[in-house]
A and B are shown apart, each in its own frame.
Chain A
């Protein structure tokens, strides 16, 4: 009897294989992303002041006491930036992960139950026609200004993109022999899901990174319009506060007020984009 080799590698082996296949620039970007994650987890521990502490004088330029100066109310900008790591990356992961999960589950459900799938596909097509950002803005204005509502709004309107890509891939995968055998032998939903998942988890990984990328963009744009919890200073909120400063265009305050948060956002988005960039077949929307 032939021994059937399992094609599953251990976690460590598959990580090692993934790492060795990366180019230099991608390795740099994955290290940067890891640094961002570490900052999100441990950054606020090193903050010299609390993010809510506004006992300092207002609008001080950078000094040894306040590495990035203070804002109009007296918050220390460096501490707010560190807090922003946790908040922005947290929102990005929650919203990106949530929309990927919802889109993938709906795609799988629509492939497994074709009749319901038709309805979901039409709904997704309609939601793709509507400009997402405007609808998210609309929802966020009417709803109470909490972080949870922001995340839910982003998840609710980003899943169609994931759905479209995942649906095509899952459909192709379900046509394969091994899935057809499973169905023939009376396998239930979970068996089929496991077979499909094993083949397609790289695709889902890419989709997750794409969605996290997009979630940061949405959150920043929402904060730019002043939407969201005003007490939770994500990077977008910090940028909005910098823009609200009355002399923003005329003096050099923006160098230490706007620029750090801006660079954090751009750095995060850029390294995520480069990470999923594939020279041979560039991922497009």
Chain B
């Protein structure tokens, strides 16, 4: 009971810190339209002089009053109006988050098992070269946006194998026959890119852990007793590397979230990534702040889930 309360308290504090960061960061940055440090830039920004901006941020009020206003808005669920699309930010994010979660969730569901399987398998083999560590490390290092851009250029436009952009062909509605097939077709390439960028680090981690486990007494005994490799992998190695793996996966899921945003912005997939692209292109401050808040809260939720999983796993042992 006490541990549960400590857990909830920790995450509430994190949430409070995120809200504070999201409030103070724009106001402390030099050149920001909300900056409290240099007053001169407030009037120079075009987007900053609009009614919506003034109404939501009230930059001429004293700082504590701004903070109270901000908290009040958050509790009412009001994330402001997007400066470019003139729609409530919460509504825009609400429409897009489904697609983002779909893409991220599917890529994790495919990438994590594949990565673990490949890492453990290669770790159990005698030949170290078969792991292709160099290729994986290079793949891990390449920026996602570049990989996605090249893939889109070559596979979508030059070779015309995959659909070019979006989540479904323009004009199709969920009720029509063939809609889901269309969605799958459009999702194929983004999913492929996402999975390709996730697998290396998971595989490398699983490989390292397996190499460490291989020397243990009980694994050597299992080998001596001629227990089949598949059983060793599943029953002996996997449960023992699970605790560290869960910690690693927690960070990996958050990185995957950011990667999803970038892949979406390249492929114009109607998730949060596309909102991010329009926000950065048009300097849409309210939208950007809303996206930051939502993505950080998502990261917090993911981290909390993995914390619980690690805890359950530790208790089981």
Q: How far is the CA of A132 from the CA of B261 in the complex (A)?
A: 12
Stretch at the interface among A44-52, A79-87, A222-230: A222-230
Q: How far is the CA of A126 from the CA of B15 in the complex (A)?
A: 10
Q: Which residues of A contact B149 (CB under 8 A)?
A: 224, 239, 243
Interface 0/1 of B120-153, CB less than 8 Å to A = 0000000010000110011011111110011001
Tier of interface size on chain A: 35 or more
Q: Are A273 and B137 closer than 8 Å at their CB atoms?
A: yes
Contact of B279 among A135, A141, A265 (CB under 8 A): A141
Stretch at the interface among B68-76, B227-235, B293-301: B293-301
Contact of A274 among B134, B150, B208, B265 (CB under 8 A): B134
Q: Are A131 and B255 closer than 8 Å at their CB atoms?
A: yes
Q: Which residues of B contact A65 (CB under 8 A)?
A: none
Q: Are B254 and A221 closer than 8 Å at their CB atoms?
A: no
Q: Are A284 and B18 closer than 8 Å at their CB atoms?
A: no
Does B101 count as interface, using CB distance less than 8 angstroms?
Answer: no
Q: How far is the CA of A203 from the CA of B310 in the complex (A)?
A: 28
Does B81 count as interface, using CB distance less than 8 angstroms?
Answer: no
Q: How far is the CA of A225 from the CA of B160 in the complex (A)?
A: 25
Closest to B32 in A: A142
Given A144-B31, A284-B201, also A279-B128 (CB < 8 A)? yes
Does A19 count as interface, using CB distance less than 8 angstroms?
Answer: no
Interface 0/1 of B135-175, CB less than 8 Å to A = 00110111111100110010001100000000000000000
Does A138 count as interface, using CB distance less than 8 angstroms?
Answer: yes
Does A211 count as interface, using CB distance less than 8 angstroms?
Answer: no
Whole-angstrom distance between the Cβ of A161 and the nearest chain B Cβ: 9
Does B102 count as interface, using CB distance less than 8 angstroms?
Answer: no
Contact of A277 among B133, B205, B255 (CB under 8 A): B133
Does A32 count as interface, using CB distance less than 8 angstroms?
Answer: no
Q: How far is the CA of A114 from the CA of B34 in the complex (A)?
A: 37
Does B258 count as interface, using CB distance less than 8 angstroms?
Answer: yes
Interface 0/1 of A231-275, CB less than 8 Å to B = 000000001000100001110001000100010011001101110
Q: How far is the CA of A143 from the CA of B34 in the complex (A)?
A: 10
Q: Are A281 and B208 closer than 8 Å at their CB atoms?
A: yes
Q: Which residues of A contact B281 (CB under 8 A)?
A: 225-226
Contact of A220 among B134, B143, B255, B292 (CB under 8 A): B143
Q: How far is the CA of A225 from the CA of B153 in the complex (A)?
A: 18
Q: Are B138 and A221 closer than 8 Å at their CB atoms?
A: no
Q: Are A130 and B299 closer than 8 Å at their CB atoms?
A: yes
Q: How far is the CA of A230 from the CA of B282 in the complex (A)?
A: 15
Given A131-B254, A131-B296, A135-B292, also A285-B143 (CB < 8 A)? no
Q: How far is the CA of A216 from the CA of B208 in the complex (A)?
A: 26
Tier of interface size on chain B: 35 or more
Q: How far is the CA of A227 from the CA of B248 in the complex (A)?
A: 30
Q: Which residues of A contact B8 (CB under 8 A)?
A: none
Tell me which of B143, B288, B289 has the highest count of chain A C-beta atoms within 10 A of its own C-beta: B143
Whole-angstrom distance between the Cβ of B294 and the nearest chain A Cβ: 10
Whole-angstrom distance between the Cβ of B161 and the nearest chain A Cβ: 14
Given A134-B295, A249-B157, A274-B138, also A129-B300 (CB < 8 A)? yes
Given A130-B18, A133-B258, A273-B141, also A143-B29 (CB < 8 A)? yes
Does A213 count as interface, using CB distance less than 8 angstroms?
Answer: yes
Q: Are B280 and A137 closer than 8 Å at their CB atoms?
A: yes
Contact of B143 among A243, A248, A269, A281 (CB under 8 A): A269
List residues of A whose CB falls within 8 A of some B CB.
25, 126, 128-135, 137-139, 141-146, 149, 213, 216-217, 220-221, 224-227, 239, 243, 248-250, 254, 258, 262, 265-266, 269-270, 272-274, 277, 279, 281-282, 284-285
30 A-B interface contacts by CB (under 8 A): A126-B17, A129-B254, A130-B254, A131-B257, A131-B295, A134-B258, A134-B261, A134-B296, A138-B25, A138-B292, A139-B29, A141-B280, A142-B26, A144-B30, A144-B32, A145-B31, A149-B30, A149-B31, A220-B145, A221-B145, A248-B153, A249-B157, A273-B137, A273-B138, A273-B140, A274-B134, A277-B134, A279-B128, A282-B208, A284-B204
List residues of B whose CB falls within 8 A of some A CB.
14, 17-18, 25-26, 29-34, 41, 128, 133-134, 137-138, 140-146, 149-150, 153, 157-158, 201, 204-205, 207-208, 211, 248, 251, 254-255, 257-258, 261-262, 265, 276-277, 279-281, 283, 285, 288-289, 291-292, 295-296, 299-300, 303
